[in-house]
C-alpha cells in the first residue's frame, strides 16, 4: 500500500498522466510518458540521491515489515501445509499492488536469510478463484537437500511473517479456447514438483470443453502432491483422465507409446504441456517433434538447476551491453572479465583482484564460481564481481 | 626494506586468516547493524529538516535541526556511504546497500569516488606519484615533493580545503585527468571520457546545490533564510569532520611514503605491509568510532577495505599483535594527539627540507 503511493511520486506523475490522456496520439503520449518518468527520476535523485523515493523511505517502512525487498511486493504468509514429506505449500496474501496472475505462471520469491536477500522462482499452484475470491495465492516448494532457499524457507516458515514476491511471469499458460479446434485435446506431463503449474491450470478450468489427459510421473504415490485433489477431479469430471506413473514400479514413461495406445487420439491434434526437470522436458519434446507435432503445440516449463560441471567444456556467456547481446566463450577457471576482454568487450574494471568493486555487474541467470572463495553461486539473478568470477554453467550477464 | 619475501608471505597469510575469520561469519548481526544505521540516518535527516523550519518557535529548535542534519550527512557519508561503496555490504544483495547502485549525500559522484578512492588510493596507497590522495596535489606533506613557494601558505590552503572538502573530493578526478587545466600525464590511463566526467561532476553538484540551497529554502516559505543558512552550516560541519578524520588517518607524523620502484610487482604481503605503514588509527568511545565510519581504524580499513566496518574494532588487537610480531610500526594514539601531529606535519613541510618519511 505504502509502496503503491510512493511509486506515484507526488503529483508530477498525475500531471503527466492527465497530459497523456488528453494527447491521445501514441507517439506524443509516449514522449510525454518518458519525459514524466525521467522527471520523476531526476526529482528523486535530487532530493534523496536514489532513483526512487521508495528506496529512501524503505528503511522507515521496513520497520513494520522486516525483510521486505524494496523492488518487490510484500506478501503475508497466511498458512502453510506439508503436501508430502518433501513438498511444502505456502499460502500468501499479496499486497493490493500485486497485479495477479494467469494459471501456469511463476514468480520470483525473495526472503531475508542471515541478513541477505535470497531469491528463487516458484510456480503458483493455486487456482485463479482463490485469488479472485480470497486475494490469496499458494506456492508449493520441493525442499532441496542442498538448496539454500528452500532449506531456509522450511526452517523459518513457522515464524516468518512475510515473503517478497515479484510480478507473475512466464508464458506457460493454457492456449485460449478460441485458438483451439473443437476436436483437439490437451496432454499434460508433470514430473515430480512439475505438477505445481499444471495443478494451478487444472483447478482453474471453469468450463470443460476439451478432453485433458495428465501423465503424472512420481517415484511412488507417497511423493505425489495434490494426488487426492487430482483423483477427486478425475472422478467428478469425465473429460479429465489422470494417469499416475510410479516410476519405481513401472519405469520411465514412454510418452509416444502411451499416446499411440489411446483410442480416438491423434498426436497431431493436441496441445502438450510438459513440466519437470530440463532433461525430461527436452526428451519428450524431441520425441513429439519426431512424431511430427508442431513446435507451437508443445509448451514447456523447466524446473531445477541444470547439472553444472566444475571443469571441462567451455561455457557460453551471453553478455548484454546496452541491449546488444554478445556471446563470450568462458573457459573453466578463467575470470569472466578476462574472457570478455579477449572477446573484444571492455567492461568496467579496476583492481582486477576483487578489491575495488568497479566491475560488479548483474548476472541474470547461470552459476558462477568465485575464484577467491571457491564458492559456487546460485542460479538466479544477482550481482557478481566479474574479475573474480568464472563460468560454472552457461550464463547471461548484463554489463 | 627490513622484511624478507618469506616473512611478507607469512604476514599475508596471517592477515588473510584474520580476514577470513570475520568474512566467513557475516550474517544477521552485520545486516541489522547497517540497517539500523540507515534508519538512524533517515530519521535524523527528516527530523533535522523539519526542526529547522520550526526555528521560528525558538532558535534552539533550529540549532537542533542543524545538528541532526549534520549528523545525518556524516552518517550517510562515513558509516554508510563510504563503507557501502567499498562493497562491504554487497553480500546482502540489497539494492539500497549495493556498491554498484549506491549514491550519497555529497557533491562527489559515487562512480568518480570508486575510481579515485577505491581503486587509485586503496591500490597505490602512499606511493608518491601514483596515489594522488597523498596531499591531493595541493599540500606538501613529505620531503618526496620539491618545495614550492605556494607551500608557504599551505596551512591556509588546508583550512580552505577542509571547509569545502566535498567539492575537493568531487573535483579530485577531474584535476587528475587535467580536464580543465594542465597537461595530461602520459602514464595516466583513463577509463572515462572527459565529457562523462564533466557530466557527472556538474550533474551531481547541481543536484546537491539545488536541494540544499533552492528546493528546501523555497518550501520553507518565510523561514527560507534560516533553512538556507542551516543547510550551509550542516554541510560545513560535515566537511570539517570528514576532512579531519581522513587527515588523522593518513597524514599523522609517523605515516610512511613509498616510491614506485619499491612497489613494482610487489607481493600481496608487501601490499599489506605498505597499508599498515601508510595509515594511522585513533582511539575514542564507541559512538565516536561510528561517527568516523570506523575510519578511526584506518589501518584495519586499509588492510581489509571490503570487511564490514563494525568489525575493525574487533580485529584491531589481532592486527596490532601481528604488526608487533613482524616489527612493523603500528601507528595509533588519541584523536587530539594524532590531530596535533597532522597540524605539525602540514606546517613543517610548508618550509623546505624536512625529515624523510620513506619506508
Q: Using the beta-carbon criterion (under 8 Å), do B90 and A112 form an inter-chain contact?
A: no
**Residue B113: in which H helix or E strand, if any?**
helix B110-113
State mean pLDDT over B66-82: 98
ipTM for the complex? 0.88
| Chain B interface includes A117 (CB < 8 A) | yes
Per the CB < 8 Å rule, is B92 touching A115? yes
Distance CA A385, CA B56 (A): 51
* Per-residue confidence (pLDDT) for residue A275, from 0 to 100: 93
Please compute the mean of the pLDDT values over residues B211-239 and round it to a whole number. Answer: 97
Share of chain A above pLDDT 90, in %: 43
Q: Which three cell numbers stand for residue B76?
A: 550517510
Chain B residue numbers with beta carbons less than 8 Å from the beta carbon of A65 are none
- Residue B75 with chain A: CB contacts under 8 Å: none
Domains of chain A: 2-60 (no CATH), 62-165 (2.40.30.10), 177-303 (3.40.50.80), 315-398 (3.10.20.30)
Q: How far is B355 from chain A (nearest CA, A)?
A: 32
Nearest by CB to residue A60, choosing from B42, B93, B95, is B42
Q: Can you give the pLDDT at residue A321?
A: 63
- Residue B182 CB neighbours (<10 A): 11
pLDDT digits (tens, 9 = 90+) for A216-248: 999 999 989 999 999 999 999 999 999 999 999
- Mean pLDDT for A193-198 is 94
Quote the Cα angle for B86-B90-B93, to 5°: 160
Distances (CA, A) of A75 to A83, A151, A152, A201: 21, 19, 17, 22
pLDDT of residue B16: 95
> Does A375 lie at the interface with B, CB-CB under 8 angstroms?
no
Distance of residue A62 Cα from the nearest chain B Cα, in angstroms: 9
- Walk across the sheet containing A360-365 and list its strands: A324-330, A315-321, A395-398, A360-365, A382-385
Grid coordinates given for B75: 552518517
CB pair distance less than 8 Å for A46 and B210 = yes
Minimal C-alpha gap between A155 and chain B (Å): 16
Mean pLDDT over residues A380-384, rounded? 89
Chain A residue with minimum CA distance to B191: A348
- How much is the average pLDDT of B131-139? 92
Q: Does B87 touch chain A (CB under 8 A)?
A: yes
pTM of the model: 0.84
* Confidence bin at A307 (pLDDT 50/70/90): very low
Which residue of chain A has the CA closest to B204?
A46
Burial class (CB in 10 A: 0-12, 13-18, 19+), A268: exposed
Using the Cβ of B12 and the Cβ atoms of chain A, whether some distance falls under 8 Å is answered with no
Q: How confident is the model at residue A120 (pLDDT cuts 50, 70, 90)?
A: confident
- Residue A24: which pLDDT band, with cuts at 50, 70 and 90? low
Mutate to test the interface with B, among A43, A111, A357 (most CBs of B within 10 A): A357
Question: Residue A350 and residue B35: Cβ atoms within 8 Å?
Answer: no
| Among candidates A47, A115, A356 on the partner chain, residue whose Cβ is nearest the Cβ of B123 | A356
Cell 540521491 found at: A49
Q: Is A332 exposed, middle or buried (0-12, 13-18, 19+ CB in 10 A)?
A: middle
DSSP class per residue in A226-286: THHHHHHHHHH-TTEEEEEEEHHHH-S--HHHHHHHSTT--TTSEEEEEEEEHHHHHHHHH
Amino acid at each position: 500500500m505504502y509502496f503503491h503511493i510512493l511509486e506515484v511520486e507526488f503529483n508530477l506523475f498525475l500531471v503527466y498522466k492527465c497530459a497523456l490522456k488528453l494527447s491521445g496520439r501514441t507517439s506524443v503520449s509516449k514522449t510525454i510518458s518518458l519525459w514524466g518518468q525521467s522527471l520523476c527520476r531526476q526529482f528523486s535523485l535530487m532530493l534523496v540521491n536514489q532513483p526512487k523515493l521508495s528506496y529512501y523511505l524503505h528503511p522507515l517502512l521496513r520497520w513494520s515489515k522486516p525483510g521486505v525487498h524494496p523492488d518487490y511486493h510484500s506478501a503475508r504468509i497466511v498458512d502453510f501445509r506439508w503436501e508430502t514429506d518433501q513438498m511444502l505449500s505456502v499460502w500468501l496474501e499479496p499486497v493490493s499492488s500485486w497485479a495477479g496472475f494467469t494459471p501456469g505462471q511463476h514468480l520470483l520469491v525473495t526472503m531475508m536469510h542471515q541478513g541477505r536477500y535470497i531469491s528463487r522462482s516458484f510456480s503458483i499452484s493455486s487456482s485463479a478463484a482463490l485469488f479472485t475470491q480470497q486475494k490469496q495465492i499458494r506456492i508449493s516448494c520441493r525442499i532441496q537437500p542442498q538448496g539454500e532457499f528452500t532449506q531456509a524457507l522450511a526452517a523459518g516458515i513457522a515464524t516468518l511473517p512475510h515473503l517478497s514476491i515479484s510480478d507473475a511471469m512466464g508464458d506457460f499458460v493454457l492456449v485460449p479456447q478460441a485458438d483451439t479446434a473443437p476436436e483437439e485435446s490437451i496432454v499434460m506431463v508433470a514430473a515430480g514438483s512439475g505438477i505445481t503449474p499444471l495443478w494451478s491450470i487444472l483447478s482453474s478450468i471453469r468450463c470443460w470443453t476439451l478432453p485433458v489427459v495428465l501423465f503424472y510421473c512420481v517415484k511412488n504415490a507417497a511423493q505425489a502432491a495434490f494426488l487426492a485433489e487430482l483423483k477427486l477431479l478425475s472422478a467428478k469430471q469425465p473429460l479429465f483422465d489422470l494417469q499416475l506413473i510410479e516410476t519405481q514400479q513401472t519405469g520411465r514413461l514412454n510418452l509416444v507409446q502411451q499416446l499411440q495406445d489411446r483410442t480416438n487420439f491423434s498426436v497431431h491434434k493436441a496441445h502438450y504441456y510438459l513440466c519437470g526437470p530440463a532433461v525430461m522436458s527436452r526428451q519428450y519434446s524431441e520425441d513429439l517433434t519426431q512424431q511430427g507435432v508442431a513446435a507451437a503445440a508443445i509448451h514447456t516449463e523447466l524446473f531445477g538447476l541444470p547439472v553444472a560441471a566444475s571443469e571441462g567444456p567451455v561455457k557460453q556467456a551471453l553478455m548484454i551491453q546496452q541491449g546488444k547481446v554478445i556471446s563470450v566463450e568462458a573457459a573453466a577457471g578463467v575470470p569472466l572479465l578476462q574472457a570478455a576482454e579477449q572477446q573484444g568487450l571492455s567492461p568496467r574494471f579496476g583492481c582486477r583482484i576483487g578489491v575495488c568493486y568497479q566491475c560488479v555487474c548483474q548476472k541474470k541467470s547461470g552459476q558462477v564460481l568465485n575464484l577467491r572463495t571457491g564458492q559456487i553461486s546460485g542460479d538466479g539473478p544477482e550481482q557478481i564481481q566479474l574479475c573474480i568470477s568464472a563460468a560454472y554453467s552457461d550464463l547471461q550477464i548484463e554489463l | 626494506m627490513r622484511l624478507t619475501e618469506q616473512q611478507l608471505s607469512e604476514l599475508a597469510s596471517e592477515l588473510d586468516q584474520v580476514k577470513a575469520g570475520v568474512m566467513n561469519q557475516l550474517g544477521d548481526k552485520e545486516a541489522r547493524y547497517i540497517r539500523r544505521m540507515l534508519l538512524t540516518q533517515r530519521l535524523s535527516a527528516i527530523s533535522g529538516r523539519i526542526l529547522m523550519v520550526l526555528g521560528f518557535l525558538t532558535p534552539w529548535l533550529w540549532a537542533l535541526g542543524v545538528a541532526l542534519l549534520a549528523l545525518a550527512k556524516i552518517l550517510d557519508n562515513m558509516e554508510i556511504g563510504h563503507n557501502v561503496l567499498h562493497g562491504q555490504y554487497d553480500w546482502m544483495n540489497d539494492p539500497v546497500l549495493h556498491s554498484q547502485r549506491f549514491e550519497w549525500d555529497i557533491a562527489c559522484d559515487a562512480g568518480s569516488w570508486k575510481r579515485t578512492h577505491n581503486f587509485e588510493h586503496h591500490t597505490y596507497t602512499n606511493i608518491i606519484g601514483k596515489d594522488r590522495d597523498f596531499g591531493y596535489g595541493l599540500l606538501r606533506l613529505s620531503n618526496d615533493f620539491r618545495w614550492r613557494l605556494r607551500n608557504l601558505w599551505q596551512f591556509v590552503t588546508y583550512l580552505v580545503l577542509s571547509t569545502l572538502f566535498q567539492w575537493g573530493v568531487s573535483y579530485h578526478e577531474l584535476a587528475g585527468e587535467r580536464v580543465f587545466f594542465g597537461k595530461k600525464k602520459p602514464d595516466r590511463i583513463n577509463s572515462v571520457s572527459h565529457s562523462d566526467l564533466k557530466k557527472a561532476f556538474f550533474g551531481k553538484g547541481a543536484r546537491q546545490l539545488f536541494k540544499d540551497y533552492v528546493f528546501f529554502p523555497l518550501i520553507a516559505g518565510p523561514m527560507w533564510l534560516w533553512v538556507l543558512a542551516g543547510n550551509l552550516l550542516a554541510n560545513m560541519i560535515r566537511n570539517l569532520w570528514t576532512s579531519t578524520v581522513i587527515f588523522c588517518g593518513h597524514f599523522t607524523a609517523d605515516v610512511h611514503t613509498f616510491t614506485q620502484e619499491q612497489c613494482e610487482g610487489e607481493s600481496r604481503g608487501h601490499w599489506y605491509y605498505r597499508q599498515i605503514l601508510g595509515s594511522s588509527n585513533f582511539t575514542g568511545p564507541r559512538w565516536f568510532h561510528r561517527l568516523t565510519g570506523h575510519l578511526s581504524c584506518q589501518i584495519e580499513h586499509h588492510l581489509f577495505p571490503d570487511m564490514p566496518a563494525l568489525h575493525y574494532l574487533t580485529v584491531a588487537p589481532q592486527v596490532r599483535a601481528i604488526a608487533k610480531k613482524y616489527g612493523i610500526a603500528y601507528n595509533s594514539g588519541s584523536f587530539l594527539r594524532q590531530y596535533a601531529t597532522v597540524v605539525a606535519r602540514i606546517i613543517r613541510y610548508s618550509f623546505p627540507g624536512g625529515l624523510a618519511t620513506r619506508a
